[in-house]
A and B are shown apart, each in its own frame.
Chain A
């Protein structure tokens, strides 16, 4: 049991002493996951609202596919992106494999169905009435989408946070497309997996604590925001 306590103490020491390797990993993780989530939100929040409002024949079938993609395994996404970006793959000329950009692409693909389907179902549930109000006040389609984003900003923010949580906590895609290269593509989750297999518990625990802190900061931010706008 002592090694667990020692691990926690060493982990705290690593964080307090601003260990450059640990903080490099933390900042890269935050950059990759925030970039992937942000790009996904900018594209798929308006698109999810648009599809939620639209009436088309295969809407039910489409929603089933969308919900199925919510739980797509991260290793499958990683494998797909790796094949696409590999030297012999269709996008091999971009030379992105084993770079942070490849990790952003993989996490973007991973979180997009989640963000889009949550926004899509929110719009089906609550968006129609706002569409009605917007339409009768003279709003165009784009203005209705902007109205829904503004009126449902808290729900949308929660959805985006769920996407970010999925991105920052996944290990499979980051490992496959990033390669866990020290100082280049090593992120929190891949480091925890590697440290655990090497028996380097203090480092793994330190990064585990940081992951928990990130979740705590995110949920606190949403709680404060909710209290501020309600």
Chain B
């Protein structure tokens, strides 16, 4: 899915939070959204995810406006994600249930993504009893199990140890390679962005600057 922003403006109490003339996240590309805290990165992701509709300007998804059908092709992985109070299997299965997949189909898809992320041993554990790294892996599994065309990652690695971080980044790269789906990766860590992303944009005071020199 390609995402195009035009004349996007978001302000709160008279303060400009985002002011983007033009920005395109290309289909199949992992793009980094860099910048220090409080520069509007999460706000921009919320707008793209359809969670925040209080803005002016245009956001197009493959040249179409946001709709419920488009929203079902997008997902967002949050920084401090929580799992539902049910088993890991049921957590991952949840988006497939919402989309009416058959029981057999759900089972196959959940097992496949659990194998991919190496979390099969957690299958019957309750979601809210896991460690931070395990929660993040299960949350990633829940986000990619239905193969969203646009995956938004809001600093999802901030609570991970170096080993889990590397594994997480490898999963993101493999997901992108296997599906050719678009990923927008918000981080303030340049090294993470270099390892995972093909393009990078820097947000400063709500304005966006394309970073061509970092790769």
Q: Give chain A's interface residues, CB within 8 Å of chain B.
A: 129, 132-133, 135-140, 143, 147, 150-151, 229
Cβ contact within 8 Å between A135 and B50? yes
Cβ contact within 8 Å between B146 and A138? yes
Size bracket of the B interface:
20 to 34
Cβ contact within 8 Å between A136 and B146? no
Cβ contact within 8 Å between A136 and B75? yes
CA distance in complex: A133, B83 (Å): 9
CA distance in complex: A132, B152 (Å): 13
Cβ contact within 8 Å between A138 and B85? no
Given A132-B51, A143-B98, is A138 in contact with B82 using a C-beta cutoff of 8 Å?
no
Cβ contact within 8 Å between B49 and A136? yes
Q: Give chain B's interface residues, CB within 8 Å of chain A.
A: 49-51, 68, 71-72, 74-76, 78, 81-82, 84-86, 94-95, 98-99, 142-143, 146, 152
Instruction: Please name the residue on chain B nearest to A152 by beta carbon.
Output: B85
Given A129-B82, A151-B84, A151-B85, is A137 in contact with B94 using a C-beta cutoff of 8 Å?
yes
Cβ contact within 8 Å between A139 and B51? no
- Contact check: which of A132, A133, A140, A229 meets B85 at CB < 8 Å? A229
Given A151-B84, A151-B85, is A137 in contact with B98 using a C-beta cutoff of 8 Å?
yes
Contact partners of B82 in chain A: CB under 8 A: 129, 133
Contact partners of B94 in chain A: CB under 8 A: 137
CA distance in complex: A132, B80 (Å): 13
Contact partners of A137 in chain B: CB under 8 A: 75, 94-95, 98, 142-143
Contact partners of B143 in chain A: CB under 8 A: 136-137
Instruction: Please name the residue on chain A nearest to B54 by beta carbon.
Output: A55
Cβ contact within 8 Å between B68 and A140? yes
Cβ contact within 8 Å between A138 and B142? no
Contact partners of A132 in chain B: CB under 8 A: 51, 78
Instruction: Provide 21 A-B residue pairs closer than 8 Å at the C-beta atoms, listed in order of the A residue.
Output: A129-B82, A132-B51, A133-B81, A133-B82, A133-B84, A135-B51, A135-B71, A136-B51, A136-B74, A136-B76, A136-B143, A137-B75, A137-B142, A137-B143, A138-B95, A139-B98, A140-B98, A143-B98, A151-B84, A151-B85, A229-B85
Contact partners of B71 in chain A: CB under 8 A: 135, 138
Cβ contact within 8 Å between A138 and B51? no
Contact partners of B78 in chain A: CB under 8 A: 132-133
* 3 shortest interchain CB distances as A-B pairs: A138-B72, A136-B76, A137-B95
Cβ contact within 8 Å between A138 and B84? no
Knowing that A150-B86, A229-B85 touch, tell me 18 more A-B residue pairs with CB under 8 angstroms: A129-B82, A133-B78, A133-B81, A135-B49, A136-B74, A136-B75, A136-B152, A137-B94, A137-B95, A137-B98, A137-B142, A138-B71, A138-B99, A138-B146, A140-B68, A143-B98, A147-B84, A151-B84
